[in-house]
Structure 1
């Protein structure tokens, strides 16, 4: 997925509070006009605009749909412009405010849209809606000047919108890169302990049931001492490749020196057995002799309401049992798992 598409939800979350506040300011200004003007007659059209603005503002602040969120931003600025144009058209003394109102809406909304295209659509619609009320009385015969104000306000707003969104994307991209570095184990390029445990906690909080597998490379220190750290690093990277290639709904990470963790988001014991035994088999053949290696594994089932520390303790206990049983095997609930006889 392109980086810009990944940033869209975060950009929406960042902009949403400011957009909501700006929309409420617009609603207050709209209500204030017909409350403070002594000759203003409240009618069904004004009621419809008021209800529409409130409804759009409400849905805009709650929706998680990105496309709908974009469309509602344009809909709000159009509806507000229609309301102001209606009031200005009914009251001759208010027509002088048409020009500053249009400029304020166009420039003020520049940093409230998530794309420059949306802003340009909204800005041009604002001017097209408010243009008609400004063609009489005080602005009659000044179309050339109005065009200059129109072009200038849209140009300034475009520059503001483009610069703001470009800088926002740059900051978020850099932040994403640093977050990825902070969550990735440098040697194996998989999740580090902090990121893996965080994902484990989130899985438990979501009420998901499944299996946690704690894996420890057998006699890793001895191989490291015998063949050197470069071979040790090669083994660790090969281990990570095995985890990446394993089929099934799972996530994984390096949680210690030669210790790895796997989360199976499947509560089927038969699948868990097949997965872990297949993984151990893949590990045995992942590196050619004499640098080949094996792993011991301890499994623990987790269910909604379980504590992370309790699951880790149970998996560690089963891993210890696998080590005592001769290594290169897996224990679950203190029992050695064997392939199902065909």
Structure 2
């Protein structure tokens, strides 16, 4: 059923529904950054040509390529998350090995490399605690050199660089993820509006039919019930349209609380449709009868009302239009038989 929530939250909330979209939207940027890191690793070893044939060069490179492949191809949130973490730690450890072998490079470039790694991690890692873990480990593992032989109070300079780099990466990561999350929430909000009947908050006809088609394709079969409120015009004429609207909302509330249904929607006017997820005729009919009884006993409406319904089975290979025609015919058989009842179309065939 559509959500009753009217406005998207502006809080940072990456819901489970948004995570696949976030992976898809970030995929291109992550690929670009990781390829740049791999290219930089190769460029460094073209300069350090005496190291290019060693395990220290190829071990981290192969690990980066493997993690890059995993992260860009996986559909699992956990695999995506941990492969990104391991990629960044592999890069940092790889450069740490270079700095151990070349003290001059450590003195001259370790600070710049650590700052780049910490800020760059904000583009690859989605999650504040994950980011902080990688950022702090990058500083601890590399231990950047700032030339303390020549600069007094060098520890203060390191502290400033440490705080600035992590803060900049944190702001970048939070701002980027917040903007992405709000965009997805707004997108979901307007998608919900486009699929929701304003008066009843159920699916509108287009959204219900779309879900019905997908249900038919993915399930072995089920039942569809077409509902029409009895004497609805009389309610509007005698009590006013506000009373008629309240009757529609009461029926919609009963449909939302209807156990055993897959989804329900408003087809138009006083007509509704319900997809029932069962292959058992007895269960389908029992669900329909419980709904009839619940509506008869309703006290929230401004006047007592009932409905008539056509309940029909459908199969995996059946056309949606044929199901609707069959349900509509059964509905009007229920009307002609005296209303306030369900006509069960099991065993009937369209001619």
- What TM-score range do you get, normalising by the shorter chain? 0.7 to 0.9
Q: Which runs of 5+ in 2 are unaligned?
A: 1-8
What's the counterpart of residue 184 of structure 1?
196
Deviation of the 1:78 alpha carbon: 0.6
1:10-55 Cα distance to aligned partner (Å, 9 max, x none): 4344323322332232223223433454222433343332232223
1:254-305 Cα distance to aligned partner (Å, 9 max, x none): 1211011111122122111111122122222224898222212122323323
What's the counterpart of residue 196 of structure 1?
208
Q: Aligned partners of 1:55 and 1:275: how far apart in 2?
A: 53
Check conservation: 1:110, 1:161, Cα contact below 8 A. Answer: yes
Quick one: structure 1 residues 328 and 307, their matched pair in 2 at CA, closer, same or farther if it must change by over 3 Å?
same
The number of aligned residues is 332
Q: Residues 209-288 of structure 1: matches in 2 within 5 Å?
A: 209-287=221-299
Check conservation: 1:12, 1:114, Cα contact below 8 A. Answer: no
Deviation of the 1:118 alpha carbon: 1.8
Quick one: structure 1 residues 207 and 87, their matched pair in 2 at CA, closer, same or farther if it must change by over 3 Å?
farther
Check conservation: 1:286, 1:292, Cα contact below 8 A. Answer: yes
Deviation of the 1:59 alpha carbon: 2.5
Quick one: structure 1 residues 208 and 17, their matched pair in 2 at CA, closer, same or farther if it must change by over 3 Å?
farther
Check conservation: 1:321, 1:334, Cα contact below 8 A. Answer: no
Deviation of the 1:151 alpha carbon: 2.4
Quick one: structure 1 residues 83 and 310, their matched pair in 2 at CA, closer, same or farther if it must change by over 3 Å?
farther
Deviation of the 1:5 alpha carbon: 5.0
Deviation of the 1:316 alpha carbon: 1.9
Q: Aligned partners of 2:135 and 2:67: how far apart in 1?
A: 18
Quick one: structure 1 residues 149 and 5, their matched pair in 2 at CA, closer, same or farther if it must change by over 3 Å?
closer
Partner of 2:312: helix, strand, or coil?
strand
- Greater relative contact order (Cα 8 A, min sep 6): structure 1 or 2? 2
Q: Aligned partners of 1:139 and 1:39: how far apart in 2?
A: 27
Quick one: structure 1 residues 249 and 49, their matched pair in 2 at CA, closer, same or farther if it must change by over 3 Å?
farther
Q: Aligned partners of 1:188 and 1:289: how far apart in 2?
A: 14
TM-score of the superposed pair, with normalisation by structure 1: 0.85
Q: Aligned partners of 1:306 and 1:17: how far apart in 2?
A: 40
1:308 to 293, 296, 320: 320
What's the counterpart of residue 64 of structure 2?
53
What's the counterpart of residue 6 of structure 2?
none
Deviation of the 1:236 alpha carbon: 0.5
* Alpha-carbon RMSD: 2.9
Quick one: structure 1 residues 288 and 97, their matched pair in 2 at CA, closer, same or farther if it must change by over 3 Å?
closer
Quick one: structure 1 residues 335 and 204, their matched pair in 2 at CA, closer, same or farther if it must change by over 3 Å?
closer
Partner of 1:266: helix, strand, or coil?
coil
Check conservation: 1:238, 1:287, Cα contact below 8 A. Answer: no
Deviation of the 1:73 alpha carbon: 2.0
1:159-195 Cα distance to aligned partner (Å, 9 max, x none): 2222222333333333333333332222222222222
What's the counterpart of residue 103 of structure 1?
115
